[in-house]
Structure 1
Amino acid sequence: MPAFRSEFPLISGLRYLNHAAVAPWPRRASEAIRAFAVENSQLGARDYPDWLLVEQRLRLRLQRLLNAPSSDDIALVKNTSEALSFVAFGLDWQTGDQIIISDEEFPSNRVVWEALKPLGVEVIQVNLQGADPEAALLAACGPRTRLMAISAVQFASGLRLELERLGAGCEARGVLLCIDAIQQLGAQPFDVQASRCAFAMADGHKWLLSPEGLGVFYCRADLREQLKLHEYGWHMLEHAGDYDREDWQPARSARRFECGSPNMLGAMAMEASLSLLEEVGMVQVASLIEERVLHLQQGLQRLPGIRLHSPTEPSRRAGIFTFSLDALSNQALFAKLKEEHVVCAQRGRGVRFSPHFYTDADVIDQTLALLGQMTQG
């Protein structure tokens, strides 16, 4: 058994296939939280400088994970929605400006742009169902297009887009590319430089195997000061910690987006979780996830009355596989799976499975066997 399996001591009989929603923490993240709680209860903040070293390691791990040019490009934020809002309400919009999104986006990457309508900004939704979704997205860009906001992997279908192609196309058109990376970061390699994106963001509680309440925001260095700030506090200042200083300015780094006290509890856990992903390596993580998704796909294809709603080409998917069953409504299918302790989600046109790199083959086989029983009445 690979060493990393011991990091996930899940309850026997539980079939966890829901990493695209909220993931279990690895053992080392739980231990980091436990140790931090004991330290707080016994010593308070006596060793706060040591906590800051953990936060510094976390920024460096995130820099490497995103292949950002510098850790100065990394902000630690509450969640993806907050980072998207920093972009949406930070840019200087003009009446008639256009934003391109897809018609499959999670509400976080749709509502925030639609909220700009009072400023005269138009949101254009592009259908991704054709043979070349990247071409469709780029074709929608016109002379008034300022920004393309797209999820690297669509939350319901699991469709993975060619980010480098989109980045090159946006750059050629003078369009900023904003990537919601929450369904790719931690499941597949992700590279902000190769994709030429202006902004990227993700929460930690899915494929990064971390708690809710802490995420990452990448902002390209030349764009940081172009985003108008709406949140101010001690932590986002260039000279944070110099409490008697009367003149001030926002930090030159992406810390300018971190208004107040950091989520140190979340940082302890996320730093530990990312250490595991680094040990395994993102290329290996992606390969192991692909093995598990292919296992699910092949098993589902053998069952009668199953409809697949996710791409079957490996280059078009990350860790999400969505399907439906002719004999049952999606709601009924989800309820039956829940009764059998299969943890999954009802999304889009069906039920969504999302295994991670450590998911045991037995979990998938047991789930396929249960579905086989359901197809037989």
Structure 2
Amino acid sequence: MYAYRNEFTQASGLRYLNHAAVAPWPRRAAEAVARFAEENVSIGARDYPNWLILENTLRDRLKRLLNAPSRDDIALVKNTSEALSFVAFGLDWKAGDQIVISNEEFPSNRIVWEALKPLGVEVKQVDLSGDDPEGALLAACGPRTRLMSISAVQYASGLRLELERLGHGCQQRGVLFCVDAIQQLGALPFDAQACACAFAMADGHKWMLGPEGLGVFYCRSDLREQLKLHEYGWHMLEHAGDYDRSDWRPARSAKRFECGSPNLLGAVALEASLSLLEEVGMSAVGQALNERIHWLQNGLDRITGVTLHSPRNPARRAGILTFSLDGWDQRALFEKLKNEQIVCAQRGPGIRFSPHFYTEGHVIEEALTVLTQLASR
């Protein structure tokens, strides 16, 4: 992966281990945005049709990243929360319907379902701490369960779930399967068809190495028209661009969820970032990330007083390791690491490290050295 070193020229002395929050851009994304800005300065929107071609190139890259059947299954959205809201407030709920989630979800994948309480919808939170979290989730699905919504990888613990087992289990029970893929998409291979999900969504600013403000919403083709729309505008029409047409209908494709003018600046950056991931190949990205997580885990295990709060089984993790250090308040430890230019996050019971495929060895070793010194105080 050192062939891509020139793509990530971060500040000297910086140890960036925070891709599960907001990732740095690769150089090609910054250069693409600079070209786009210069074009706007010099000729404005004269070549707007070319921008729409790039937007479709981005859809194609996202289609491949999710292994969606068609580009038509891909909507470009503001963020994961917006996509989850399309599902939550698009389905036709009845009083007594149930939704199954876990007790470890990021607020985006909890609040949106709890907001359905006035409609009489019940949210069941399942404890994932046992030996068989998938079994526990599926066991919680009863005759009134309409939907299971789960994070592919839990944001605090880093627990990675077996999506295929969950998806096929939901299918057998007649339950819709919704995947918040934000902590897996761009980190490890993802397959919307293999896991039989009805919906999947993710922001571009984490493992996909893109900007904030642009994400992806995968909606299975047979479900698109079942989601009631609450946003309307010129861009989401079947005949978008035919401004004088008086009869209209929402687009048959997932563009029906994109009501107005697209975020083309974000699309320029994200398309460039995804071109890098495609160039490397998601299999190679996942392998390199696994190696770095293994490296980090071994190093943490050698530090006296460190407790690991993430799974040790490689099949149960993606790019997140969360730990605590005896004798240190977690907020104080976070601030100390920040002062040492180690960019990380305070999540759940400890400190969360999240490297990416390109993270160089010296970054990992220097972070471990700092922790070793702090443990001896």
Q: TM-score, normalised by structure 2?
A: 1.00
1:134 aligns with 2:137: no
SS in 2 for 1:218: strand
Name the residue aligned to 1:312.
Answer: 312
SS in 1 for 2:236: coil
Distance in 1 between residues matched to 2:240 and 2:176, nearest whole Å: 30
Give how far 1:370 is off.
Answer: 0.3
Q: How many residues align?
A: 377
Q: How does 1:33-52 map to 2 (within 5 A)?
A: 33-52=33-52
1:275 aligns with 2:242: no
SS in 2 for 1:352: strand
Name the residue aligned to 1:4.
Answer: 4
Name the residue aligned to 1:257.
Answer: 257
Mark the runs of 5 or more structure 2 residues left unpaired by the alignment: none
1:238 aligns with 2:238: yes
Name the residue aligned to 1:335.
Answer: 335
Name the residue aligned to 2:177.
Answer: 177
Give how far 1:2 is off.
Answer: 2.3
Name the residue aligned to 1:207.
Answer: 207
Distance in 2 between residues matched to 1:56 and 1:116, nearest whole Å: 34
Q: How does 1:76-225 map to 2 (within 5 A)?
A: 76-225=76-225
Distance in 1 between residues matched to 2:59 and 2:286, nearest whole Å: 22
Distance in 1 between residues matched to 2:287 and 2:37, nearest whole Å: 35
SS in 2 for 1:194: coil
1:286 aligns with 2:265: no
Distance in 1 between residues matched to 2:28 and 2:177, nearest whole Å: 35
Distance in 2 between residues matched to 1:326 and 1:29, nearest whole Å: 40
How far does the alpha carbon of each residue in 1:136-158 deviate from its partner, in whole angstroms, 9 at most, with x for none? 00000000000000000000000
Where do 4+ consecutive residues of structure 1 move more than 3 Å? none
1:26 aligns with 2:47: no
Distance in 2 between residues matched to 1:312 and 1:360, nearest whole Å: 22
Give how far 1:3 is off.
Answer: 1.8
Name the residue aligned to 2:299.
Answer: 299
Percentage of identical aligned residues: 75
Name the residue aligned to 1:70.
Answer: 70
How far does the alpha carbon of each residue in 1:195-251 deviate from its partner, in whole angstroms, 9 at most, with x for none? 000000000000000000000000000000000000000000000000000000000
SS in 1 for 2:194: helix
Q: TM-score, normalised by structure 1?
A: 1.00
Distance in 1 between residues matched to 2:339 and 2:162, nearest whole Å: 38
- 2:205 counterpart letter in structure 1: H
Q: CA RMSD of the aligned region, Å?
A: 0.5
Name the residue aligned to 2:353.
Answer: 353
